[in-house]
Amino acid sequence: RFVKRAGVWLTQPRFAVTAGAIVSDERGRVLLLRHVLRKGSGWGVPGGFLKASEQPEEAVRRELREETGLEPDSVELAFVRALGHTRQVEIIFRCRMRAAALEGLEKGFEIDRAEWFARDALPQGLSADQRRLIERALAVNARE
């Protein structure tokens, strides 16, 4: 039994698991963050790695608290994708938060800046992949 488990453990691929949040406000704007720890990557959606034994929704709520100090009004699963080049499974959530909650947000250890952006006016420094994440998550919402 031990040998069988060890064989499976040694031969099966390992993946990091992350949770990301596409956060929108009552006006349909999207929350983007400029991360201190990801310098050079520009703007991006909130998120991070799951801790051992942490449920994905707990992780996305924790990441939002750590990065913005705020709690979302609602959280729902949007989609899951596997990134082969980084051996990562990414769980994307669609979240709602009131725009006023962001007022007075101070720079923190992880975040240089947090801002709401209209979907048709996303910032220049936002990668094509992050744009696709936002569109996919919000398109799912529009179909429902």
CA angle centred on 88, ends 84 and 90, rounded to 5°: 115
Q: Is 136 helix (H, G, I), strand (E, B) or coil?
A: helix
Q: Positive or negative CA dihedral for 118, 91, 47, 65?
A: positive
pTM comes to 0.83
How far apart are the C-alpha atoms of 95 and 61, rounded to whole Å? 9
Residue pLDDT, tens place only, 58-89: 999 999 988 888 889 999 999 999 987 778 89
Residue pLDDT, tens place only, 91-115: 999 999 887 777 766 666 678 888 8
Contact 105, 68 (CB under 8 A): yes
Contact 30, 134 (CB under 8 A): yes
Tell me how crowded residue 59 is: count the other CB atoms within 10 A of its CB: 22
